[in-house]
Amino acid sequence: MVSGMIDLKRCYEILEIKPGSTYEEAKLAFRDMVSIWHPDKFSHNSRLKEKAEEKLKDLNSAWEQLQAFFIQKEDAAAEQP
């Protein structure tokens, strides 16, 4: 899932938040999920560490796309008279 674009609905699902959540809610959810899934927490178990690494890639991808969405949304709002 890491390569390519994923839709916004899936980004919200990955971060375990509702569509329409605010930037701040998304940022907090991202930080919480990274804290939960950080691979260093699983250094004692290579199988779980690998799983956490994949989860972290998905989280990073979802967060990057949501950030871009929020920036576009903010830019569009700023352009309106």
* Tens digits of residue pLDDT in 7-31: 999 999 999 999 999 999 999 999 9
> What confidence tier does 3 reach under pLDDT thresholds 50, 70, 90?
very low
Res 28: pLDDT:
98
Residue 13 pLDDT = 96
CB 14 within 8 A of CB 58: yes
Closest CA to 73 of 28, 2, 16, 19: 19
And the tokens for 1?
Answer: 């899932």
* pLDDT one-digit tens code per residue, 62-78: 999 999 999 998 888 88
Judged against a pLDDT cut of 50, whether residue 1 lies above it is answered with no
Q: How far apart are CA 26 and CA 20, in angstroms?
A: 10
